[in-house]
Amino acid sequence: MDSPRKCWNETSDDSREQITGIPVQNEFETKSVRAKLRLLAIDIDGTLVNSTDDVSERTRQAIQAAMSAGMVVVLASGRRYSRVVPVARELGLSTPVISSSGALIKETESHRTLWRADFPPQLLRRVVQAVRRAGFPLALLGDTFTDGFDYYVESRGPRNGYLDRYLELNPGCHRVWNDFQKDPPPDVFAAFALGTREEMEGLAAELHRTLPGLLTTNVLKSPRYEGFFCEMMPSGTTKWSAVCRVADQWGITPGEICAVGDDVNDLAMISGAGLGIAMGNACEEVKAAAHWVAPSHEEDGLAHAITLILEGRVPQTA
């Protein structure tokens, strides 16, 4: 996802290397890595799509070329499942999709759930209590696509303008639930709050202080909405853990995976993959963890990266 944080494309090569300690690669060498890469995990916002939420023709052709070459292409997004399905279908992908930053894996044809990060009811109650105490409204994501909605909002408790505008932009996507704490809804795998960046970073810090070791959180900005999200999931839930679950279906190892992304919820998969690629518009933490920084999503950076991989020209790693 796009972020207002300072990115590498605003600095010189020398300053990039000084900040991260990782040499910036401007040249490519032919290596055996291409022969080992079997799965391509792709983030959507800020990576696959540009700022107008479109997949360029060049990017579409590059993905088709990767599939024709035998690579497994998997979408790994922070978006809700209902917003990932149309993208997968547009690209002609039949592979499982990863949504909600790794908390849900589903097949797009049957909508069968392959895995989800179920919240234990007692932990969910403690999360609700902590977020209420901090004064923020909470939305709970349920595995409810086939029921015609994506998430629950509470009939009681605090409200703010960020969540109100989110609901306005997503009509019909929620159901009202009476009381999250006394009677949590079923099949909840993730939750989120909305506010300013400072508010959401403070909320995440408070959640980790109150519930140490029990949660994964991501504070990030979506180009579609005002404010920042604080995503909350059971501990250990990441895009990378989900990508590895999907890769296991084909007997693919972490070293045979290429992951491409731009925001903090992509950090684990870019760090863990055999080849981790950050987009030119990525935040600094992601660029520092990547083997190579591609051009931005406005410059068809993903297509550029795929082309180099298919040609057997991959970045020298640090």
- How much helix, strand and coil, in percent to the nearest 5, is found in the chain? 40, 20, 40
pLDDT on residue 158: 82
Q: What is the pLDDT of residues 87-126, one digit of tens each?
A: 999 999 999 999 999 999 999 999 999 999 999 999 999 9
246-251: average pLDDT: 97
- Determine, yes or no, domain membership for 132: yes
pLDDT at 316: 54
Measured CA to CA, the distance from residue 4 to residue 190 in angstroms comes to: 25
Predicted confidence (pLDDT) per residue in 168-203, tens digit: 999 999 999 999 999 999 999 999 999 999 999 999
Neighbours of 173 (CB within 10 A): 18
pLDDT band for position 224 (cuts 50, 70, 90): confident
Model confidence over 48-63: pLDDT tens digits?
999 999 999 999 999 9
21 and 169 together in one domain: no
Q: How confident is the model at residue 312 (pLDDT cuts 50, 70, 90)?
A: confident
1 falls within a domain: no
pLDDT digits (tens, 9 = 90+) for 137-158: 999 999 999 999 999 999 987 8
Amino acid at 41: A
- Structure tokens that stand for 10 in this block: 């605003």
Q: What is the value of pTM for the model shown?
A: 0.88
The enclosing domain of 252 has a CATH number of 3.40.50.1000
Domain span holding position 298:
8-116+238-315
3 occurs within a structural domain: no
pLDDT value of position 12: 31
The share of the chain scoring above pLDDT 70, in percent, equals 88
Last residue of a domain, one of 201, 234, 267: 234
Sign of CA dihedral 253, 71, 74, 317: positive
pLDDT, residue 7, reads: 30
Lowest mean pLDDT among 10-24, 92-106, 257-271, 289-303: 10-24
- Beta carbons within 10 angstroms of residue 244's beta carbon: 20
User: Do 73 and 134 have their domain in common?
Assistant: no
In the structure, what pLDDT confidence band is assigned to residue 33 with cuts at 50, 70 and 90? Answer: very low
Domain boundary among 234, 260, 292: 234
One domain for residues 71 and 151 = no
Which of 31-35, 129-133, 215-219 is predicted with the least confidence, judged by mean pLDDT?
31-35
